[in-house]
Structure formats: structure tokens, C-alpha cells
Structure 1
């Protein structure tokens, strides 16, 4: 009988890289094209269409460029009571939520500023997804605190 691969090391930390999703970039581009088509198909006067068409195309391209140029981020969720870090900055509160194949990370840093990241299916492979699920369970347990028997 073949040996199973070594199991996940419970004392290892979860290290994940976030990067912009090409899938989301394609959807943003499609929304931009549809916005221009909506302006062209509207019943507005020609001079309004001539103003709004290029404006909607410019806004879509700026949004797409801004999203795709976001730098990669490095998330580390250590095992145990240690606080998670994002790009070396300690996160005061950190929460992972799942909605279908999407993973949402919401946090507050030490200064109280909020932040969030979303991992799309094309940016988080199956192994990393499992790793994040296990680390997120550990985060939830450490946030609630240890239960005490009375």
C-alpha cells in the first residue's frame, strides 16, 4: 500500500501571495465596453453621447490600469497566538470569509486603518486555498480565545 504524503505541519505558518486577478481584469474591461455600448444605445442627444462615450471609456481604462498595477502582497498567518502580517506590517484584527470560490480578507492595522483583499480562483490554487482555510480556522479560534472549563 503506498504511503500517503506527509500531512500538513500544524506548526507551520501560512504564507500566501496576493496578486491582481486576470479574470477580474477581463471582467472590468468587459464592463467598460458595455458602458460605452450603453451610452451609444441610449436615447441621449448626439452631443451628450459624444461627451459621455469617451468619458466612460477613459474611466474604464483608468480603473483597469489601476487594478492591474497593484503590487503583489505577502500575507503570513503564523501558527498560534502570533498576529498575522501583510507585507511585514502586523495586522491588529484579521478575518477571512469565503463566498464560493472567492476568499475575502478584511483587516485593521495597528493604526486602525481598514484594508481588504480578494483572492479569485485564478490567483489561489487548490493547495493554497486549503492552507488558507486551515489558517483562517486558527485565526477564528485565537480571536475567540481559549475555552475554559469551569
Structure 2
């Protein structure tokens, strides 16, 4: 994430913006990136448990209402809704969740998802 922040600052400075806009924009981007990095660094680790056979989803032993997975290339975004209604998201880089485990998680979540509305067979 630090590399992306540095590249973002460089891109703002390298674009065609006038210097009067580019430097404040780069400074703003740097401050926002630092705040995000601090937020993610202080985020506590958690254990998400998915058991499709029993339709059980838990995070640190607490039951979950819903679980979502979004895969964007090698990155996996896992989100869940706690019983109090709040959504929590975690980002998994390829070094934490390889392709085989990502696929296994996708299959487990599909088994938990309710079946889509069945099409009508009436003619």
C-alpha cells in the first residue's frame, strides 16, 4: 500500500496540472494515504470461519448474517455483515490467500448463497 501511495503522489506531480494545483493535490494524497495506512495497520486480525455443510459463518466466534467475496485479479475482498448490521471488509493479497484457497472460498460462499430465483416453467 505504501508503494501505491508513492506512485499516486508521483502521478499527481507528473500529470499536466499546473504546479499550483499539483503540489497541494500531491500533499493531500500523501496525508490521506498515511491515514489509510495507519488505519489498516491498527486493524485487528480476525478469523473468518465458513462451514457450508452446516450453513455456519462466524468471525472470531461471533455469528455472521451475510458473507460476500469479490475477486479482482489476484486480490480478494471479503466482507461480512455482523449481527448488529454493520459491514466489515478485509483485503487479501496473493501472499495471504493463494489462487487455490481463493477458489475454495468462492465455492464455499456459493454453497451458502440462497438459490437464485428459479425461472418459471409455465408455458
TM range (shorter): 0.5 to 0.7
Q: Which runs of 5+ in 1 are unaligned?
A: 1-23
8 A contact 1:29–1:61 mirrored in 2: no
Deviations 1:3-41 (A, max 9, x none): xxxxxxxxxxxxxxxxxxxxx442233224434x259x7
8 A contact 1:96–1:106 mirrored in 2: yes
Aligned equivalent of 1:34: 11
8 A contact 2:50–2:57 mirrored in 1: yes
Aligned equivalent of 2:86: 113
Alpha-carbon distance in structure 1 between the residues aligned to 2:5 and 2:28: 15
Q: Which runs of 5+ in 2 are unaligned?
A: 119-123
Q: Normalising by structure 2, what TM-score?
A: 0.67
Deviations 1:46-85 (A, max 9, x none): 9x94x66544432322222322332322110013233311
Aligned equivalent of 1:10: none
Alignment match of 1:138 (pick from 108, 111, 114)? 111
Aligned equivalent of 1:18: none
8 A contact 1:31–1:60 mirrored in 2: no
Larger relative CO (CA 8 A, sep 6+): 1 or 2?
1
Distance 1:109 1:133, change over 3 A: same
Deviations 1:111-148 (A, max 9, x none): 111222232323212342233133123222xx339x9x
Q: Normalising by structure 1, what TM-score?
A: 0.58
8 A contact 1:93–1:107 mirrored in 2: yes
Alpha-carbon distance in structure 1 between the residues aligned to 2:54 and 2:98: 26
Question: Cα RMSD over matched residues?
Answer: 3.3
Distance 1:56 1:28, change over 3 A: closer
| Residue correspondence of structure 1 range 27-106 to structure 2 within 5 A | 27-35=4-12, 37=13, 42-45=17-20, 49=23, 54-106=27-79
